């Protein structure tokens, strides 16, 4: 196995790169190792363009192998890896969004990048090295690509910047920003933060880019030594190029005077779509009437119409400072916020910005409803989940209803990341929380609308979030001939997203950022654009939060009547076994008879969830009785559960008995326990002591009436107790016997007529 090996000291560890070796038939193959984390990246490209496509068919897969972490799948029936985990999909999206902008604009050949994690040391995150491996695999392959590219992760612990923090350091960090860049420009950003100000986020990006440059120099050395000659990009022949240029000039001359009309007075997305369809038909008719344009050229002309229309929109904005829908460059579309729309859900919120409308719905559940995540890297329980749905009707299209797409998973994860920093601690609010955002209509930035809608829904549900979160998407339009001539747009709509150069999503509170995500279509962004977008987004976020506050200013004090209630108990750890019972018998009995859910943690925390107050009270009382630690001096109304010659055993709490010695049963000497108590009697007792073996010694607390009865029967009890047997008289004491041994149901001295001192079981 021939390889070319390279190494770099980075952050106190050795970064190793091997070119070749594995996957020799791939068009590019690179293995990257950092610590004991190893990632293989391979790239393959089809030899010719896919016919009839007007997009770049790039596929990026990130493959987590359980063997990399020394794991075998937990399922009893399926042991091989199945569908990619959400974590793997999100990592694949990060790599895709980083490398895609550096391919040629006209690339149409199917291209696949596969990153496979071969070893994971549980300390160094493989997604960083997956991106580096993918970048190098592309760069050393014959595939045309405008790299190199590298990425770093930035954290901050104790006020100090940390490069590529470990998992432990990331937990302590107040921000987590992934920076992918070339040596001169930012290509992709992804991050979360705990309400960190924009200026500090910008500092983190600058810090990360500085260290990216070190990796870029390392990559350039590898490429120089191990890179293969690049195959030619898809370039038209001189004849075809001349034909298309003439055709484009003809269409532009026809289109330019019509741009003002198509972009003036637009009412909505449908209005623009109708104008676009009508104009496209008009173009086709114009080309048909042109004797110089044959059928093939006409088809090519119609195909380039959308791109030319996007260019026209770009030119319109740059020249007039007014957007195609009439807004200024920093103007937000009309906003609307509502809460409490659905009667039986635990919380709901509707957020609308222009023609983008999202309904978010909250469901609260018991701690046991947490999601178990068991992947290669992640092994945890999630108490907060955000799911995002984007049905076809939201954009007026027919679309099969299937499992969530990668885009839906990504947008849901972004909104989840945005809201995580403001959620209450489990100790304060132990509920499992699921939010579902249904995109009802979309014309740009539905992901950030889902963040706003979810914030409203959480407050409507009474979840005590620290502060409401709002999100906005910023865009960019630049002049292809003069990149410095550009304008940053606030609140981009569909046309500006599709035809623009940037989608810069920012979410946060009035104090600072909680999440950001940046996708670009250019080769990269200058840091000045990043800084301007952050500043503009802060202003827009303030406007959105103001509108949201009019719908609901803070979390409701009372939850929905349909939401379950949770009570928290803390029991001694050694009592957990008693609460569960043999084979779960005790806890299952409580659940079956009270209708509650019970979740027990290893530290003795018990969560009881119930939809009804009656069931809750009954379950809590039951649990307290089972787990109560009895102390000397406590008093109980117990039940006689065993009678022996030396005394009786009284059950104070379930499975907790104590002994009343025969010498304590009466204020005088008795010979038989049965002359005073019998099985099933209810007795009020006091715990005198707990011996060194944990045994309870009790004494009875007779009432005055009971003592009088004992004294009235003293002679009979003494006589019977030492001379013969007797039987119970039914009042909680034993009936007397005469000297002949005959029984008397009445008992002595009239005591047998009295009932109810101790009751019945």
Summarize pLDDT for 61-88 with one digit per residue, the tens.
Answer: 999 999 999 988 877 788 888 889 999 9
Distance (Å, whole) CA 189 – CA 205: 8
Residue 28, Cα to own-chain centre: how many angstroms? 35
Q: Nearest to residue 276, comparing CAs of 248, 253, 307?
A: 307
pLDDT at 747 over 50: no
pLDDT for the residue numbered 479: 87
Q: Which residue has the higher pLDDT, 255 or 724?
A: 255
> What single-letter DSSP state applies at residue 737?
B
- The percent of residues in the chain predicted with pLDDT above 90, rounded, is 64
Distance (Å, whole) CA 465 – CA 370: 19
Q: Nearest to residue 137, comparing CAs of 15, 231, 23?
A: 23
Adjacent-strand bridge partners of 482: 479
Domain 635-753 CATH class label: mainly beta
Correct CATH for 565-627 of 3.30.1370.10, 3.40.50.150, 1.20.1600.10, 3.40.430.10: 3.30.1370.10
pLDDT for the residue numbered 744: 33
- DSSP, collapsed to helix, strand or coil, labels residue 85 as coil
> What single-letter DSSP state applies at residue 487?
E
Adjacent-strand bridge partners of 699: 686
pLDDT for the residue numbered 495: 81
- Give the DSSP letter string of 693-756: TS-EEEEE---HHHHHHHHHTHHHHHHHHHH----B-SSSSBPPB-TTS-B-SS-GGGGGG---
pLDDT band at 114 (very low <50, low <70, confident <90, very high): very high
Residue 201 · residue 209 · CB < 8 Å: no
pLDDT band at 536 (very low <50, low <70, confident <90, very high): very high
Residue 512 · residue 197 · CB < 8 Å: yes
Tell me the mean pLDDT in the region 691-719. Answer: 89
Distance (Å, whole) CA 280 – CA 262: 12
Q: Which residue has the higher pLDDT, 395 or 11?
A: 395
**Roughly what angle, to the nearest 10 degrees, separates helices 295-303 and 305-320?**
40
pLDDT for the residue numbered 761: 30
Q: Do domains 565-627 and 635-753 have the same CATH topology?
A: no
**pTM for the full predicted model:** 0.83
Tell me the mean pLDDT in the region 497-501. Answer: 84
pLDDT for the residue numbered 235: 63
pLDDT for the residue numbered 80: 87
Q: Nearest to residue 149, comparing CAs of 159, 162, 134, 127?
A: 134
* Gyration radius of the chain's alpha carbons: 38
pLDDT for the residue numbered 497: 85
pLDDT for the residue numbered 326: 85
pLDDT for the residue numbered 632: 94
Domain 335-551 CATH class label: alpha beta
Distance (Å, whole) CA 474 – CA 453: 19
pLDDT for the residue numbered 18: 96
Tell me the mean pLDDT in the region 309-319. Answer: 85
Mean pLDDT of the chain: 88
pLDDT at 759 over 80: no
> Which sign, positive or negative, has the C-alpha torsion 180, 186, 189, 193?
positive
Tell me the mean pLDDT in the region 585-611. Answer: 93
CATH 1.20.810.10 is right for the domain spanning 3-226: no
Question: Which stretches does DSSP call E strand in 11-57?
Answer: 13-20, 28-34, 37-49
pLDDT at 749 over 80: no
What six digits make up the tokens of 211? Answer: 């260290």
pLDDT at 382 over 80: yes
pLDDT band at 758 (very low <50, low <70, confident <90, very high): very low
- Whole-angstrom CA distances from 39 to 59, 125, 129 are 18, 10, 7
Distance (Å, whole) CA 596 – CA 366: 10
Distance (Å, whole) CA 518 – CA 209: 15
pLDDT for the residue numbered 728: 39
Q: What is the DSSP pairing of strand 470-479 with strand 502-508?
A: antiparallel
Tell me the mean pLDDT in the region 399-409. Answer: 93
pLDDT for the residue numbered 721: 59
Domain ranges of the chain: 3-226, 238-320, 335-551, 565-627, 635-753
pLDDT band at 389 (very low <50, low <70, confident <90, very high): very high
Tell me the mean pLDDT in the region 499-511. Answer: 94
pLDDT for the residue numbered 745: 34
Residue 32 · residue 129 · CB < 8 Å: yes
Sole residue written with tokens 């009239």: 750
What six digits make up the tokens of 749? Answer: 């001295």
């Amino acid at each position: 196995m021939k390889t070319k090996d390279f190494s770099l000291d980075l952050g106190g560890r050795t970064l190793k790169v091997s070119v070749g070796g594995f996957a020799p038939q791939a068009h590019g193959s690179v293995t990257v190792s950092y610590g004991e984390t190893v990632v293989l990246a391979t790239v393959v490209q089809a030899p010719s363009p896919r016919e009839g496509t007007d997009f770049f068919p790039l596929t990026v897969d990130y493959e987590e192998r359980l063997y990399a972490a020394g794991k075998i799948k937990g399922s009893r029936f399926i042991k091989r890896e199945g569908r990619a985990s959400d974590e793997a999909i999100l990592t694949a999206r990060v790599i895709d969004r980083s490398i895609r902008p550096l391919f040629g604009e006209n690339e149409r050949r199917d291209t696949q990048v596969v990153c496979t994690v071969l070893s994971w040391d549980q300390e160094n995150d493989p997604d960083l090295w997956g991106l580096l491996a993918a970048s190098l695999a592309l760069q050393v392959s014959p595939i045309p690509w405008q790299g190199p590219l590298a990425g770093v992760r930035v954290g901050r612990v104790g006020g100090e910047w940390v490069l590529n923090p470990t998992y432990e350091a990331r937990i302590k960090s107040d921000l987590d920003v992934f920076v992918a860049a070339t040596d001169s420009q930012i290509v992709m950003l992804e991050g979360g933060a705990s309400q960190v100000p924009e200026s500090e986020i910008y500092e983190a990006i600058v810090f990360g880019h500085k260290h990216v440059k070190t990796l870029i120099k390392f990559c350039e050395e590898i490429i120089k030594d191990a890179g293969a000659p690049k195959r030619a990009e898809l370039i038209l022949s001189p004849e075809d190029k001349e034909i298309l240029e003439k055709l484009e000039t003809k269409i532009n001359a026809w289109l330019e005077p019509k741009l003002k009309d198509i972009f003036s007075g637009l009412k909505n997305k449908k209005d623009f779509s109708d104008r676009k369809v009508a104009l496209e038909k008009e173009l086709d008719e114009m080309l048909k009437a042109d004797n110089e344009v044959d059928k093939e050229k006409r088809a090519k002309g119609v195909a380039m119409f959308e791109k030319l229309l996007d260019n026209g929109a770009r030119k319109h904005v740059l020249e007039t400072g007014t957007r195609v829908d009439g807004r200024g460059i920093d103007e937000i579309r009309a906003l609307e916020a509502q809460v409490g729309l659905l009667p039986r859900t635990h919380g709901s919120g509707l957020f609308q910005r222009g023609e983008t409308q999202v309904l978010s719905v909250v469901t609260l559940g018991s701690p046991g409803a947490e999601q178990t995540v068991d992947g290669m890297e992640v092994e945890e329980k999630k108490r907060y989940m955000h799911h995002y749905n984007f049905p076809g009707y939201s954009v007026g299209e027919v679309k099969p209803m299937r499992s969530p797409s990668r885009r839906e998973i990504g947008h849901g994860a972004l909104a989840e990341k945005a809201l995580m920093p403001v959620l209450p601690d489990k100790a304060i609010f132990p509920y499992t929380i699921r939010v579902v955002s249904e995109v009802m209509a979309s014309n740009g930035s539905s992901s950030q609308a889902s963040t706003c809608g979810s914030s409203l829904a959480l407050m409507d549900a009474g979840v005590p979030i620290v502060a409401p979160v709002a999100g906005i998407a910023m865009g960019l339009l630049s002049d292809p001939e003069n990149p410095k001539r550009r304008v940053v747009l606030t609140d981009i709509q569909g046309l500006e997203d599709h035809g623009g150069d940037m989608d810069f999503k920012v979410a946060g509170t009035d104090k600072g950022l909680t999440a950001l995500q940046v996708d670009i279509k250019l080769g990269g962004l200058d840091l000045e654009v990043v800084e301007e977008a952050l500043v503009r987004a802060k202003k827009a976020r303030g406007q959105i939060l103001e509108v949201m506050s009019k719908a609901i200013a803070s979390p409701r004090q009372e939850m929905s009547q349909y939401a379950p209630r949770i009570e928290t108990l803390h029991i001694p750890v050694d009592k957990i076994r008693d609460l569960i019972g043999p084979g779960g018998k005790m806890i299952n009995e409580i659940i079956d008879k009270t209708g509650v859910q019970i979740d027990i943690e290893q530290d003795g925390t018990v969560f009881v969830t119930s939809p009804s107050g009656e069931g809750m009270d009954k379950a809590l009382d039951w649990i307290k009785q089972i787990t109560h630690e009895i102390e000397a001096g406590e008093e109980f109304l117990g039940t006689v559960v065993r009678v022996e010659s030396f005394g009786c055993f009284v059950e104070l709490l379930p499975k907790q008995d104590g002994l009343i010695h025969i010498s304590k049963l009466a204020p005088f000497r008795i010979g038989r326990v049965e002359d005073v108590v019998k099985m099933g009697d209810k007795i009020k007792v006091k715990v005198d002591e707990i011996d060194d073996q944990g045994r309870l010694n009790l004494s009875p607390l007779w009432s005055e009436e009971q003592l009088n009865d004992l004294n009235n029967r003293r002679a009979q009890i003494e006589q019977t107790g030492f001379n013969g047997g007797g039987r119970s008289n039914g009042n909680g004491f034993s009936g007397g016997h005469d000297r002949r041994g005959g029984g008397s149901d009445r008992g002595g001295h009239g005591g047998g007529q009295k009932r109810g001192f101790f009751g019945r079981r």
